[in-house]
Amino acid sequence: MAHSPAQSPSNCAIPAPPCFGAHVIALWTLVVAAQAACPSLPAELDAAETALQVLDLPAAEAYLDNAEAALACGRLPDASEVARFHFLDGAVAQFMGDAPAAKQSYRAALALDPEAGLAGFESALSSVVDEARAETPSQTGSIEVSPALADPWQVRVDLGASTPTPVAVMEGLHLVQFTDADGAVFGGHVVLVTADMPVVVNHDLPATPPEPERVRNPVDTSFTVRLGIGTGFAFGKSQTATVDGTTFDEPAFKATTPASLGLDFGVGPVFFEAEGEVGALLDGHYLVEGTPSPEATKLAWGVGLNAGANLGDLALGVGGGAALPGRYRGYALARFTPFRRAPVSLTARAGVRSAHRLGAEPMFGLTVAYDLGLL
């Protein structure tokens, strides 16, 4: 389980104070240096849920351990995030056959967010979840901090306002966190409170919170190689030319199936991409003015530059370049990543390309690509 049950009095190995019949928790004390390496709570919860989806319970437990570590540093989380942590913890316990522990976790989750749940597992978990909803703890226990902390330290239980200890709480799982006045978290633990024994949380925090290290947030960068195949269409004028005694036609409707290579560099939400493509005209030939006579080819290739912004799973941008033979193009593009963890993207383009003597040709394209992230 991601939460650690309190030690029994006989197993207390903490310098002070003596156990005296109390559960004693050795708190993870995270100093300023650990703040910069604090795990990402949303990322660890996402990873735990993904592992749970395939019933990889050891991996889910490991990610939940990381999530609990994230609760002991960084900033105060949202109630919905802590509720999600408890609910995932309960689901892991239930799948491992520990229904009482699962019920404790579900109760803690529902106390913070009555709508807490796990999509796709409603029926599998409903029996224990429904019991947790129906049961209301009737007995209280207490949480005490040792040594006692004074202002400007704040002791928060289940994200509530700072409270002096000992504090009376209903029996069950509770999140205890130590913060400064600005909400920076310097320690925390999930404790199991029972009615028969108080819980004492030991710590070795200094008398006043450390001055937070001002870490300049680096700008996220990425580099992606994009290998794609697609289809493209253009609508323009038809033309006919004789080349070396042979007559060639360029149709008004031009369809191609290009293969493409893109090099995408991202800086924060902004991306810049250089790409090239090559494909063949499915019907007819491209006709290009040449010296001393026109040239005819089925092969078409292009180079261009794109730029835009990533908006989660959707990217929007503009681009342009050469669409050879003998054409130039400009377009708007939309790229969609339909599968959150699969390196596949779909890019749609719409724009205009210009050809000598043919004027402007409306163009459209759709590309399916494999995205190889290198950064």
Residue 289 in tokens: 């003015």
Q: Which segments of 72-195 does DSSP mark as H helices, in order?
A: 79-95, 99-112, 122-134
List the chain domain ranges.
9-202, 221-373
Residue 157 has pLDDT above 50, yes or no: yes
Position 4 scores a pLDDT of 39
d(CA 183, CA 12): 31
Fold topology of 221-373:
Porin (2.40.160)
User: Any bridge partners for residue 184, and if so which?
Assistant: 75
Bond before 292 cis per omega within 30 degrees: yes
Q: Which residues contact 306 (CB under 8 A, 6 or more apart)?
A: 262, 271, 272, 273, 274, 275, 317, 318, 319, 333
pLDDT digits (tens, 9 = 90+) for 192-244: 998 878 888 888 888 888 775 554 556 678 899 999 999 999 988 888 888 88
Position 10 scores a pLDDT of 28
Q: What confidence tier does 8 reach under pLDDT thresholds 50, 70, 90?
A: very low
Position 356 scores a pLDDT of 65
Distances (CA, A) of 224 to 231, 271, 348: 22, 10, 18
